[in-house]
Structure 1
Amino acid sequence: MAVLTSLSPSRANDFIQCPLKFRFRSIDKLPEPPSQAAFRGTVVHSVLEKLFTAPAEQRTTDHAQSLLMPAWTELVDKDPEVLEIFTTEAEQAEFFTSARKLLDAYFTLEFPEHLEPDETEKFVRTTLDSGLELRGFIDRIDVAPGGEKRLVDYKTGKQPKPQYGREAKFQMGFYALVEYRLTGELVHTLQLMYLGSRSVLKSHPTMADIEATQFEIDAIWKDIVAAAKTDRWRPRKSPLCNWCTFKPLCPAWGNAAPPTPEITEIVGA
């Protein structure tokens, strides 16, 4: 049984990319094997979160590197099966090499010793008038002495070309909307930090942006509700299909999808 009462930016992006992928993840809740890239991102995020628990003068490259192995160990202890993604010791060695490079890249983008984040890995949620709950985790929230708020998100990949950057921008707009609904204040800056390309993308949302984001979320949810009512979760072919765990279950590739589980509650239905 499944309920559809909340939405995160990643699940919203799933539906835009492929409604059937959304169904498999959000309704069927099918297990997905971990990937080295995703696990590397989790480890690096953990290190950067822990970095800001140290006194300002200790937030150095060396200290960040010293946090890498403990972060790895902690995450592996929580889920030992993640080790199955590494078939050789050489793969593990390359994993650590690439993670170290990403941490080094972070220190080329800002000076953490000069920052005092208000919160890290903050879980946020708000409920729209429709009853839909918006939820997610913000990597870091900075508040300037003048009160201006900045939302920061770390990306361990490279900055995409403008035509492929919609997902990340939507994610940040989503969080700006949630923060506005929670505090009644506009976020001053949205900051995406692409460690893979050592680049930073900043934007300054306006009320028009907040309203446009809510309009987009409402439209996405309306389409999700319609798909749930009719049980029509159309697959959407794209080059990303080659990396999709669910391709063996996808009718667009000549395969058979399992029956949709029963949905017991849908907000807006």
Structure 2
Amino acid sequence: MGTTTEPAEPSEPAASRPPAARPPSSLSPSRASDFMQCPLLYRFRVIDKLPEKPSPAATRGTVVHSVLERLFDVPAGERTAALARSLVTPEWERLLAARPELAELFPDHGDSASGGDGGEQTAGERLAQWLQGAEALVERWFSLEDPTRLEPAERELYVETTLDSGLVLRGYVDRLDVAPTGELRVVDYKTGKAPRPEFAAEALFQMKFYALVLWRLRGTVPRRLQLVYLGSGDVVTYDPGEHDLRSTERKLLALWDAIRRATETGDWRPRPGRLCDWCDHQQFCPEFGGTPPVYPLPVPAPRAVPVDQAR
């Protein structure tokens, strides 16, 4: 691995320069998942900050989350499926205004794509179909929960805490419900389908992460963790205990130690798996014949071995 990257040319506008690389200083559920999936992917996202193309699925998830958040801005009796569907297009337009690069998801320059019936779809037709898919996910939520009977204490709640070890944990909770008795329910919306049991641990780990942070912040172990899968219409619940959260904390500390060692040594190894086909960074991955960028953080020089020990 190399040392630091070359400085920007003096004539380069400051706004166009990539942000300076820094060692990671905190852990979120998504970044923890990245490292467990593939340490090299974590490096590309957190340290190198390589750009990634927006995806229709992830963008749709952002729009759906925004709709479900804003629905609670109106009185309970007005929270209808029709209103929720009507919010989809405005939320997409709001997101597009904030992130103009999302326009590349539906380019409007005369190209077309084959439709499901063998015909050709225009960019406008693909966008309309995508918005209809988002509307269907929003409408399905009404068969899983009744928003007229819910008054969330928090929506899109940013949480952050520092463990005794110094590790900073942070993230966003989709919804936090608080019962009159003070019991907490942590709710997370998923726009995909519920995973098979053998793949359910990752989503549950994310929820235990949030529960651990809330426990440290509020002194109360959440009574229930609830995953709402809008893609398949499933609701998965789990009631954690202190032993669960202490185990999660130990796992996070071990994970952070591994991240810290990789950061200091520059040794970020790829971990091939079933998700590699969807990775944006194959061109930089040794598993696909690529070469990672020069490592932008300093690493210690190799220790010299005395001649008498080298024999």
Q: Which amino acid counterpart does residue 55 of structure 1 have in structure 2?
A: P
Residue 228 (structure 1) aligns with: 263
Task: Write the mapping of 1:137-176 to structure 2, written as runs, cut at 5 A.
Answer: 137-176=172-211
Cα deviations across residues 56-94 of structure 1 (Å, max 9, x unaligned)?
001100110111111111101001110101142221011
SS state at 1:10 partner: helix
Aligned with 2:69 (options 37, 44, 49) = 49
Confirm whether residue 38 of structure 1 aligns to residue 58 of structure 2.
yes
- Give the Å deviation of 1:167: 1.8
Confirm whether residue 245 of structure 1 aligns to residue 280 of structure 2.
yes
Q: Which amino acid counterpart does residue 119 of structure 1 have in structure 2?
A: E
CA distance in 2, matches of 1:159, 1:261: 38
SS state at 2:143 partner: helix
- Give the Å deviation of 1:242: 0.2
Distance 1:263 1:212, change over 3 A: farther
SS state at 1:258 partner: coil
Residue 293 (structure 2) aligns with: 258
Residue 307 (structure 2) aligns with: none
Confirm whether residue 63 of structure 1 aligns to residue 83 of structure 2.
yes
Residue 309 (structure 2) aligns with: none
Residue 120 (structure 2) aligns with: none
Residue 159 (structure 2) aligns with: 124
- Give the Å deviation of 1:228: 1.2
Please provide the CA RMSD for this pair: 1.1
Residues 5 and 131 of structure 1 are in contact (CA less than 8 Å); yes or no, is this contact kept in structure 2? no
- Give the Å deviation of 1:132: 1.4
Residue 48 (structure 2) aligns with: 28
Q: Which amino acid counterpart does residue 100 of structure 2 have in structure 1?
A: P
**Could you list the runs of 4 or more consecutive aligned residues of structure 1 that deviate by over 4 angstroms after TM superposition?**
none
More helix by share: 1
- Give the Å deviation of 1:263: 6.1
Q: Which has the larger radius of gyration?
A: 2
Aligned with 2:215 (options 174, 177, 180) = 180
SS state at 2:249 partner: helix
Q: Which amino acid counterpart does residue 128 of structure 1 have in structure 2?
A: L
- Give the Å deviation of 1:133: 0.7
- Indicate the structure whose relative CO is greater, using CA pairs within 8 Å and at least 6 residues apart: 1
Distance 1:36 1:263, change over 3 A: farther
Residues 2 and 263 of structure 1 are in contact (CA less than 8 Å); yes or no, is this contact kept in structure 2? no
Residues 140 and 151 of structure 1 are in contact (CA less than 8 Å); yes or no, is this contact kept in structure 2? yes
Gaps of 5+ in 2: 1-20, 108-122, 300-311
Q: Which amino acid counterpart does residue 21 of structure 1 have in structure 2?
A: L
Count, aligned residues? 264
Aligned with 1:215 (options 246, 250, 254) = 250
CA distance in 2, matches of 1:77, 1:63: 22
* Percent of aligned pairs sharing the same letter: 51
Confirm whether residue 76 of structure 1 aligns to residue 96 of structure 2.
yes
Residue 267 (structure 1) aligns with: none
- Give the Å deviation of 1:166: 2.1
SS state at 1:2 partner: coil
SS state at 1:109 partner: coil
Confirm whether residue 19 of structure 1 aligns to residue 54 of structure 2.
no
Gaps of 5+ in 1: 265-269
CA distance in 2, matches of 1:130, 1:210: 15
